[in-house]
A and B are shown apart, each in its own frame.
Chain A
Amino acid sequence: MSDFPVFFLHGLAYGGLLFLVSAGLTLVFGMMNVLNFAHAAMYMLGAYFSYTILQMTGQFWLSLMVCPLLLFIIGAVIERFLLRRVHVFGHVHELLLTFGLAYIITEVVKWVWGNFPLAVNVGGFLGGTVEIFGITYPLYRIFIFASAALVGIMMALILYRTRLGIILRAAVNDSEMVNALGFNVPRVFMGVFAFGAALSGFAGVIAGPLLSTYPGMANEILIDAFVVIVVGGFGSLGGAVVASLIIGELQSFGVLLFPKLSLALVYLLMSVVLIIKPSGLFGEKQ
Chain B
Amino acid sequence: MILELDGLGHRYDTEQAVDTVSFGIADGELLGLLGPSGCGKTTIVQAIAGHLQPTAGRVRLRGTDVTTDPPESRHVAVVFQQSTLFDHMTVADNVAYGLAADAGTVADFLDLVSLTDQQSAYPAELSGGQQRRAELARALSTDPDVLLLDEPLSALDRALRTEIRAEIGRLQRETGVTTLFVTHDQSDAMALADRLVVMDNGAVAGVGEPRTLYASPPTPFVADFLGRSTTLQATVSDQQPLTLRVDDTRLGFDARRTALPTGTPVTCYLRPSDLRLQPSPELPSLPCEPVDVVDAGRHYDVTVALDTGERLLVESQTQPPVGTATQVGIPQATMSIFPADEGAANDQ
**A, B from the same assembly:** no
